[in-house]
Structure 1
Amino acid sequence: MATAIQKYSKHLNATNLINIVSDCFENIKDPRPDKCPIPFGDFPKSAFAMMHQRNDSLLEFDSKRTDPIQRHNLEKMYRVHDGIIPSDSHMSAVIDLIEPADIQKPFKEFFSVIQRSGALKAFKFSCGKLKDYYLMPIDGTGLFHSKNVAVKIAALEIKGNLMNPITII
């Protein structure tokens, strides 16, 4: 018997999910008074590509602007027009103009696709007054932790047989 994800894999794949993000970002109204040569939707799509490809910073992503492979991937995978990446300062300034509700649209679309597929049934959670919620495991400890900030222990980092408490900012 196929799982919900296998059954609905037509919709639950990287290409479809990236296209959902691209469509949502294409539909954001351009608030800039003067139109520039880079289409407005390319700014959030480039930022999404940066995060999806796990670049550490805008500056690192910016350093790849002239790389033909990077430009090809941006154009073909993320539907960034002509594969042109805005500079880090330009991207930052334009992305600041985007309303938070417009950034939330891709998440809502993802959630809708995943919910319709039935893949969320395994994460349904009820406890006491909490009824019909989804329990989603999220782990950012590998990227966002500090040994300098004093807070209660939030997680354990396992290295070999040693378990070290780490703190999360």
Structure 2
Amino acid sequence: MSIIQELTEKYNGIYSEDPTSSFTGPTGKYIYQQKSGIINFDGTKISINLNEVGGAMYGTEPFRITLHLDKTYGVEFNVFPKTLLNKFLDYIIPNRAIFIPRNVRNQFSFGGNKDLIKKLISDKIFIENINNEKIFIGTINKLANRIVLTPAHGINDVDHFEKLVKVLKRIENEIKNCT
């Protein structure tokens, strides 16, 4: 049973799975299958998507966990693992992210609404849940109606999924409080 199917059963959600598709490319036969689930987590719609790829190319596109906001908010926000360029910029301009604690600043880069970032980095639960994770979080555009979290190494189990959703819920609460 896939993790998405397990989650939808636990939360009485909706699970769907496309039929397996295959095609032959220059390096061999590829197999593709999309799996998705929609659940209600503490009154919020959460969707989970995975595009599995197999055959000649072993690997999978990453999970996408999407929290659907109740309305559109004029907030832009993103978090991503610190890149070498961002480390260099922190060295050149040391005060550009001084309000972010060093352990979080060394691991992640933040962008978007400064007030939202300040509230989130002062939230101990948010910081504990992103610590030592390799995740990408962002609103799709400035008129945000959803927040997408992509874990670089997938979802380990139901507990790991719930930890990641708690991160999204903290962001949702702060977005609602900012407006």
| Higher strand proportion | 2
Q: What TM-score, normalized by structure 1, do the two folds share?
A: 0.24
Based on CA coordinates, which of the two structures has the bigger radius of gyration?
1
**Structure with greater helix share of residues:** 1
TM-score, scaled relative to structure 2: 0.23
